[in-house]
Amino acid sequence: MIAPMSVSERLAAVVTERLRFEEPLARYTTMRIGGPAEFLALANSTAEVVALVATARSAGIPWRVIGRGSNLLVSDRGVRGLVIRNASADLDFADMGGGRWHVRADAGASLARVAGECARRGLVGFAFAVAIPGTIGGAVAQNAGAHHREMVDVLVDVLCLDPRGDVAPLPVNVLELGYRTSRFKRHPREETVLTATIAVTLADLPAAEREIEEIRAWRAEHQPAEPSAGSIFANPPGDYAGRLIDAAGLKGHAIGGAQVSTRHANFVVNLGAATAADVKALIDLAQSEVQKRFGISLEREVELFGEWEPA
Ligand SMILES: Cc1cc2nc3c(=O)[nH]c(=O)nc-3n(C[C@H](O)[C@H](O)[C@H](O)COP(=O)(O)OP(=O)(O)OC[C@H]3O[C@@H](n4cnc5c(N)ncnc54)[C@H](O)[C@@H]3O)c2cc1C
Instruction: Report the complex ipTM.
Output: 0.99
171 lies in the same domain as 114: yes
Q: Best substitution site from 132, 154, 180, 184 to test ligand 1's pocket, by max atoms within 8 Å of Cβ?
A: 132
The contacts of residue 144 (CB under 8 Å, 6+ apart) are 111, 129, 132, 134, 138, 150, 151, 180
- The answer to whether residue 311 is domain-embedded is no
Return the CATH number at 295. 3.90.78.10
With b for 16 or more beta-carbon neighbours within 10 A and e for fewer, the 119-152 pattern comes to beebbbbbbbbbbbbbbbbbbbbbbbbbbeebbb
pLDDT > 90 fraction of the chain, expressed in percent and rounded = 94
- Cα–Cα distance measured from residue 146 to residue 156, given in angstroms and rounded to the nearest whole number: 18
212 lies in the same domain as 98: yes
Q: Write the pLDDT tens digit of every residue in 37-88.
A: 999 999 999 999 999 999 999 999 999 999 999 999 999 999 999 999 999 9
Q: What is the pLDDT of residue 2?
A: 65
Instruction: Establish whether residue 158 lines the binding site of ligand 1, counting it when its CB lies within 6 angstroms of any ligand atom.
Output: no
Q: What is the pLDDT of residue 111?
A: 98
Residue 99 has pLDDT above 90, yes or no: yes
Task: Share the mean pLDDT of the chain.
Answer: 96
Q: What is the pLDDT of residue 5?
A: 82
Torsion, CA 307, CA 141, CA 181, CA 26, rounded to 10: 40
Q: Give me the DSSP letters along 146-213.
A: ETTEEHHHHEEEEEEE-TTS-EEEEEGGGS--BTTB-HHHHSTTT-EEEEEEEEEEE--HHHHHHHHH
239 lies in the same domain as 164: no
Instruction: Establish whether residue 132 lines the binding site of ligand 1, counting it when its CB lies within 6 angstroms of any ligand atom.
Output: yes
16 lies in the same domain as 82: yes
Q: Write the pLDDT tens digit of every residue in 3-49.
A: 678 999 999 999 999 999 999 999 999 999 999 999 999 999 999 99
- The answer to whether residue 70 is domain-embedded is yes
- Cα–Cα distance measured from residue 78 to residue 76, given in angstroms and rounded to the nearest whole number: 5
Domain around 77: 9-86
Distance 70 CA to ligand 1 centre (A): 5
Distance 181 CA to ligand 1 centre (A): 11
- Cα–Cα distance measured from residue 174 to residue 44, given in angstroms and rounded to the nearest whole number: 28
Distance 49 CA to ligand 1 centre (A): 18
Residues taking part in catalysis? 180, 231, 301
How many distinct structural domains can be found in the chain? 3
- Cα–Cα distance measured from residue 302 to residue 4, given in angstroms and rounded to the nearest whole number: 40
Q: What is the pLDDT of residue 253?
A: 98
Q: Write the pLDDT tens digit of every residue in 108-127.
A: 999 999 999 999 999 999 99
